[in-house]
Amino acid sequence: MGHKARPVPCEGTAGRLFMGGGGNVDEAVRKAIEDLLGILDKEGRMYASLLKASKKKAEVISKADVAELEKMTALERSFAERMAEADGLRGRTVRWIWGRLAREGEDASRDDVTVSELKGRVDDPTLKERLDAAHKGILDTILELRMMNELNERLLKNSLDYVDFSINVLTNAEEGGVGYDSKGKEISDGKKKPLMDVRL
């Protein structure tokens, strides 16, 4: 009496898929790939929303709206948590599919398989094209997102530099008149000047 293979679960957006010893492997893999496409679509929409938020953040930084900037930071944190969950689900689904498509001599239990590698093993031209389009869409959005993040970092740094400059100017104004002697040494009259001296 032969030993019956134990079903292997694959978690995806459509629930659990099982591939037993006498199951239809091709159909199970096809369903898992459909699940993967659903996950990639969800990730793509999240990255697009994050990109939109990043563009708004640039405007907020330019306006020096601290309260709104705090809200944007909290929103980004929320996005990061949700994206981490989707990333974990994608990873598990990709590994399960790879385990079914790995060739003889390859490690079917690899935990570092990427969507790019997986695409090369999909024979169905329609599924392969859909995977390629979903994957490329996410990569393009991530590239634009990185550029926006770099811009926001520069804007934030410029903002902080301007604040430091303003503080220094105000501090010097508060310390009073400053001049230089014949040797170029700084001298002060020791009197403090008001920050605003408006005479009506």
- Please list the alpha-helical segments (H only) found in the chain: 25-63, 66-101, 115-119, 125-175
Q: Which long-range contacts (CB under 8 A, 24 or more apart) does 133-137 make?
A: 134/37, 134/40, 134/41, 134/44, 135/40, 137/44
Distance CA 24, CA 129 (A): 23
Compute the mean pLDDT over every residue in the chain, rounded to the nearest whole number: 76
pLDDT in tens, 77-130: 888 889 899 999 999 999 999 998 888 888 888 889 999 999 888 888 899 999
Strand bridging mode 8-12 / 186-188: unpaired
Q: Which two tokens stand for residue 90?
A: 């994608």
Distance, in Å, from the CA atom of 39 to the CA atom of 86, rounded to the nearest integer, reads 7
Q: How confident is the model at residue 168 (pLDDT cuts 50, 70, 90)?
A: low
pLDDT value for 170 = 59
Where do the structural domains in the chain lie, given as residue ranges? 8-188
How far does CA 165 lie from the centroid of its chain?
A: 32
Class (C level, CATH) for 8-188: mainly alpha
Task: Give the list of residues 6+ apart from residue 172 with CB closer than 8 angstroms, or none.
Answer: 178
pTM over 0.85: no
Asked if pLDDT for residue 30 goes beyond 80, the answer is yes
- The pLDDT, as a whole number, for residue 24 is 43
